[in-house]
Structure 1
Amino acid sequence: MNPAHAATLAAHERTRSALDFSDRRDFDDAQRGFIATLPDAHIEHDGGGVAWSQRPYGFLRGEAPDTVNPSLWRMAQLNHTHGLFEVTARIYQVRGFSLANVTFIEGAQGVIVIDPLQFTEHARAALALYRAHRGDRPVSAVVYTHSHRDHYGGVRGVIGPDDLARGVPVWAPHGFTEESFSESMLAGVPMRRRAMFQFGWGLPPGPMAHVDSGLGKAVGSGHDGFIAPTHLVREPLERHLIDGVEVVFQLTPGTEAPADMNLHFPGLRALNLAENACHTMHNLCPLRGAKTRDALAWSKYLDDALDTFVPQADVLVVQHHWPVWNTPAQPRRIADYVAGQRDLYRYLHDQTLRLMSHGLTPTEIAAELMLPNALSGQWFARGYYGAVTHNVHAIYAHYLGPYEGNPAHLDRLPPVPAARKYVQYMGGADAVLARARADFEAGDFRWVVEVLNQVVFAEPGHRPARQLCADAMEQLGYQAESATWRNAYLLGARELRAAAGDAGPPVNLPISPDVLAILPLDSFLDYLAIRLNGPRAQTLAVRIDWLLEDPTAPQAQRITLSNGALVHRPGRHSEPADVVVRTTRQELAAVSSGRTALATALGDGRLRTEGDPQALRALIETLDEFHPMFPIIEP
């Protein structure tokens, strides 16, 4: 690791000059209502080790060091706050025990839990802290605001089989289960690898490495679970009474998650905008990848909430960061905050579309588009998690896809042959490196990274090029206001400094047992189909009836493999299938890992077959095994 370059120090000074660091209202709000916490929010992992701890972030004191953007340092300090907080009468939050917040609403008979964090250990510790200071109230309901794992994965830490048996309801927006499966399974392998860069997994906490994740401190670890919703919100607005508490649900699909909703509590004069209005510019497509989010719909839903709910609210709660309160001195603070967030996404959307209509490409739009000063000067509009540049690309892709219209880009060479040509045209790797050193000294880090990326792809073992590219990425990381950009740059630098081809130890990618316990057979077969190697399978023609022998909900799917494509429909083939496969849920869990597990289960009889087992074996042999630590910054 290197010290901050003079160009980085100059960038930090520009940030200090542009923003009002004397405004400490967020620090006051983040501490308001504090009751108690665990020392350093330290939580042990059920399997041994640490599931979560703020202890390593004790360095977040005083002024920002030279190696951290001062605006990001401010957010990192705010996200270091942790504990149980009273928001208003009957509403409490535990913050800083996970990436997200858990909110507790005290009802007539128990406590309603909103978003039980990402891991069982996190949620259990948060609920224990709440009960230690508010009494041993039973959980009377669980609410998932949206379909991202950091808001539901810890549910087993707050309710269990006994709670479900006594009828504890679990509320979620329509489409919740399907979208949760889609994100965690179908795109799970590449998303997990890319998430390493977004969240900086593996970067040690410290002023030259990991300081924050923008939405919260870090991801943490532990056991995750899944309990399917028992009650779905299907209408745009629904009013319900849950444990004596009136709740108005506002569906907001396509905003921060494909299945998403806000909550208004009229009797408590409180509004919960989930993750749709946090203290940052959000991303419209995260660095880890996801379905692009609809900035226009996001803005409109916030406008609806501003008109319908904000006049009846004295406090605004969000599921990341800290609340916003109206005060006698600032009676419109919530309205101004929500209007600012609304305008943020509307401005990004409309100005991107305006410049698109002038024929500009995403890169050109991102270079030109600046938020208006009145908005960009607001702390809640800064890009700690999202960034203007990345959001412009997401909006462009949402409407027009990734192709920007230039036929020269229709059929580009793949990265490795293109890099070799670029380097050859530029006079060879050593010549590129010599010019790049001069640009590095001048502080032109973006260009250094771009040209040396070509050298790394052309000659992965060229150590001086890898080192200088890493040095330039490191400086960009130091400069980044976005925590996710910082993490991506710094992890990229670390991987470049490692031996070529060494991205680190493999990352385990299990499917949660709770997911497998309720996974529809057709979802499992979709997961199987994306492993099918089409070229290897294109000459096979196989018909399979797959039967899931579930006592509560038996399922049958007729599978057809032809032309290298695996399709399936409910039911069985009208003509005899080549093979009939029978599994239980437990056996389905055993074969969910891929080709090797399936072949083993077929060999030892756990996959019970009728007909020709070789037809199934032929299918299994065409399945790919995924390597979750695939290269990203090198070929």
Structure 2
Amino acid sequence: MTDTSFQDMTDFEDADRGFVTALKPGVVKDASGRVVWDSDAFAHLMSDPAPATVNPSLWRQGALCARQGLYEVTDGVYQIRGLDLSNMTLVEGERGVVVVDPLVSAETAAAGLGLYRRHRGERPVTAVIYTHPHIDHFGGVMGVIGEGDEVPIVAPEHFMRHAVSENVYAGTAMIRRGMYFSAFGTPVGPEGQIGMGLGMATSSGSVGLIPPTLEITRTGQEEVLDGVRFVFQMTPGTEAPAEMNFFLPERRALCMAENACHTLHNLLTLRGAQVRDARVWSRYINEAIELFGDSADVVYASHHWPVWGRERILTFLSEQRDLYAYLHDQALRMMNTGYTGIEIAEAIELPPALAQAWHARGYYGSVSHDVKAVYQRYMGWFDGNPAHLWQHPPQAQGERYVRALGGAEKALEAAREFAADGDLRFAAELASHIVFAAPEHRGARDLLADVLTRLGHGAECSTWRNFFLQGAHELRNPITHTAIALASSMTSALSVTQAFDSLAIRVNGPRAWAERLSILWRITDLAETYRMELSNGALIHHPDPKDTRADLTLTLTKPQLLGLLGGRGLDGIEHEGDVGVLTRLLGLLDEPDPDFAIVTP
């Protein structure tokens, strides 16, 4: 891309179009006064030139994402942008407003809704839509409605299954990796955080979930919410396992959820998730063109800024479509000629038209890790080389590399030479081996931190930059405490099976090998019965058991069940049998560690 192309102002004009007002100051606090969001910290991106410590293309993206406030998309459709990682869309109806994707935290969602109401009136929230089950699209729901509010909550089929899978089952690991994904512990500024490519950062307020009351199950399904007609398109397996776009025919406005944004997205996010399907992603974008392309005057998404005008919309969507199809098909072509995922990532090039399209650049995803994800989806973790079938884990590898190189000092000298020669990638790999072999070696930690910093400052992909810089930060400082925790309202949204699953994944298998116990759970408010059995270290449960014999029978409501699993005890719960069984079971559970080490052993 030529230097002059950085002067293209079209995106900046689109990002500013429809601006109504900003939140001033751009700071959101929780009830205790703790700052959970600070958009003002990123305001310098919009006025300062790109420094040497930031890739100029990524700085440009940051300047676009740093804009915050209330924006009019089209008549009766508004967005809150720049007050969290995602956008919150507000569709005006006959009696009030339909809220789409209420941000990460209740505090930022409430602040955004308040900003809207100050300029559009005290309209009640008449419906909520979750486009998909990522936390930045539902976590702030308690900031726009309460649990007892009788409004429809609309989501794609299987929303709850995947919301729980990502945010509860693997939630601790994903949120910890998410600290690197967002560089949460590094200071905001040219040396550190300058955004996430998809938005600036994630808020750190109260996260909740109110389960959907209306499922969208098929493309073409129409629902009238507060007098507004919504036409839905199901897009499972794209940016999320359960996702949907929707079209507003009377507003001629197409919402692409997170399926077409101003960046190459992730096929496998670095924070961890299920691998996404680039093939169907491309096909669903093409289906959106077929279904709505001739009728839409504006296309907008749950991140970034809209695109207006028929010709520009079709160009934008078709290039996004081609981007995912190309990565998928070329990765398969090269895979079938013997290339591994790492080799494909080094060799693949985008067509010039896509490489030069700003919205196709890798600010959030990257060509490199996306084609590795395609390889993983089809071939798994193993590249077929038997030498890679049974490798040592990182600490054992590090010890052997250091020994083979003649000790930590000689290995460190070699790593410094690679760094001095500009081979930062191998310098980082070698220095990491030393750190894992000798975690307290200050010279190795300092060199690795320096190399990771240099890699971060050169990265166009924001999430790569953030991983590099957060790793450097944690080599020099204590591990950053994970600030985001799932609120009790997230737990209350779980089904009984999901609550029991959450218990089962905490059982310490080796300590439970010799234990055998059984519990019968009678959930009175749901009229459900479950039998739970622990054997061979596995905690199994199933509904409507034929055999109702058990060491302990508990009769209780679902709220009492959740309270019991949360440590509140048996007060008020009817029980029969050996209550010691419950103590034995709870004694076998491990507590998740939200602050586990990543860049060190």
Shared fold per TM-score greater than 0.5: yes
Structure 2 residue identity aligned to 1:288: R
Does residue 1:629 correspond to 2:595, yes or no?
A: yes
Cα separation, 2, equivalents of 1:71 and 1:554: 58
Does residue 1:39 correspond to 2:24, yes or no?
A: yes
Structure 1 residue identity aligned to 2:113: L
Q: Deviations over 1:22-50 (max 9, x none)?
A: 11100000000111111242222223221
Identify the residue that residue 12 of structure 1 maps to in structure 2: none
Secondary structure of the corresponding residue to residue 332 of structure 1: helix
Does residue 1:59 correspond to 2:44, yes or no?
A: yes
Does residue 1:311 correspond to 2:289, yes or no?
A: no
Deviation at 1:587, TM superposition (A): 3.6
| Distance of aligned partners of 1:525 and 1:391 in 2 relative to their CA distance in 1, 3 Å threshold | same
CA contact (8 A) 1:111 1:140 kept: yes
Structure 1: runs of 5+ lacking an equivalent? 1-15
Identify the residue that residue 400 of structure 1 maps to in structure 2: 379
Q: Deviations over 1:449-485 (max 9, x none)?
A: 0011110111111110110011000000001111111
CA contact (8 A) 1:46 1:222 kept: no
CA contact (8 A) 2:531 2:548 kept: no
CA contact (8 A) 1:513 1:589 kept: no
Cα separation, 2, equivalents of 1:333 and 1:440: 44
Secondary structure of the corresponding residue to residue 250 of structure 2: helix
| Distance of aligned partners of 1:286 and 1:42 in 2 relative to their CA distance in 1, 3 Å threshold | same
What is the TM-score of this pair, normalised by structure 2? 0.96
Deviation at 1:510, TM superposition (A): 4.6
Cα separation, 2, equivalents of 1:352 and 1:395: 7
Does residue 1:571 correspond to 2:544, yes or no?
A: yes
Q: Residues 339-354 of structure 1 correspond to what in structure 2 (within 5 A)?
A: 339-354=318-333
Identify the residue that residue 472 of structure 1 maps to in structure 2: 451
Tell me the C-alpha RMSD between the 2 structures: 1.7
CA contact (8 A) 1:110 1:138 kept: yes
Identify the residue that residue 525 of structure 1 maps to in structure 2: 500
Q: Deviations over 1:196-218 (max 9, x none)?
A: 00011121111101110111111
Structure 2 residue identity aligned to 1:156: M
Structure 1 residue identity aligned to 2:422: G
Q: Deviations over 1:271-316 (max 9, x none)?
A: 1001100000000111110111111110000000011111100100
Structure 2 residue identity aligned to 1:523: Q
Identify the residue that residue 504 of structure 1 maps to in structure 2: 480
Identify the residue that residue 192 of structure 2 maps to in structure 1: 209
Structure 2 residue identity aligned to 1:136: E
Cα separation, 1, equivalents of 2:552 and 2:160: 31
Q: Residues 322-471 of structure 1 correspond to what in structure 2 (within 5 A)?
A: 322-326=305-309, 331-471=310-450
CA contact (8 A) 1:516 1:588 kept: no
Does residue 1:601 correspond to 2:576, yes or no?
A: no
Identify the residue that residue 540 of structure 1 maps to in structure 2: 515
Identify the residue that residue 13 of structure 2 maps to in structure 1: 28
Cα separation, 2, equivalents of 1:504 and 1:303: 42
CA contact (8 A) 1:175 1:259 kept: yes
Choose which of 508, 527, 530 in structure 2 pairs with 1:557. 530
Identify the residue that residue 35 of structure 2 maps to in structure 1: 50
CA contact (8 A) 2:58 2:363 kept: yes
Identity of aligned residues (%): 46
Q: How many residues are paired up? A: 600
Deviation at 1:619, TM superposition (A): 2.3
Identify the residue that residue 301 of structure 1 maps to in structure 2: 284
Choose which of 192, 197, 211 in structure 1 pairs with 2:175. 192
What is the TM-score of this pair, normalised by structure 1? 0.91
Structure 2 residue identity aligned to 1:357: N
| Distance of aligned partners of 1:422 and 1:269 in 2 relative to their CA distance in 1, 3 Å threshold | same
Does residue 1:289 correspond to 2:289, yes or no?
A: no
Q: Deviations over 1:324-382 (max 9, x none)?
A: 001xxxx4100000000000100110011111101111110000011111101100001
Structure 2 residue identity aligned to 1:303: N
CA contact (8 A) 2:238 2:276 kept: yes
Does residue 1:617 correspond to 2:569, yes or no?
A: no
Choose which of 554, 558, 562 in structure 2 pairs with 1:581. 554
Structure 2 residue identity aligned to 1:264: F
Identify the residue that residue 8 of structure 1 maps to in structure 2: none
CA contact (8 A) 2:147 2:210 kept: no
Secondary structure of the corresponding residue to residue 20 of structure 1: helix
Deviation at 1:581, TM superposition (A): 2.9
| Distance of aligned partners of 1:113 and 1:190 in 2 relative to their CA distance in 1, 3 Å threshold | same
Cα separation, 2, equivalents of 1:113 and 1:511: 22
Which range moved further: 616-625 or 386-395? 616-625
| Distance of aligned partners of 1:427 and 1:303 in 2 relative to their CA distance in 1, 3 Å threshold | same
| Distance of aligned partners of 1:415 and 1:381 in 2 relative to their CA distance in 1, 3 Å threshold | same
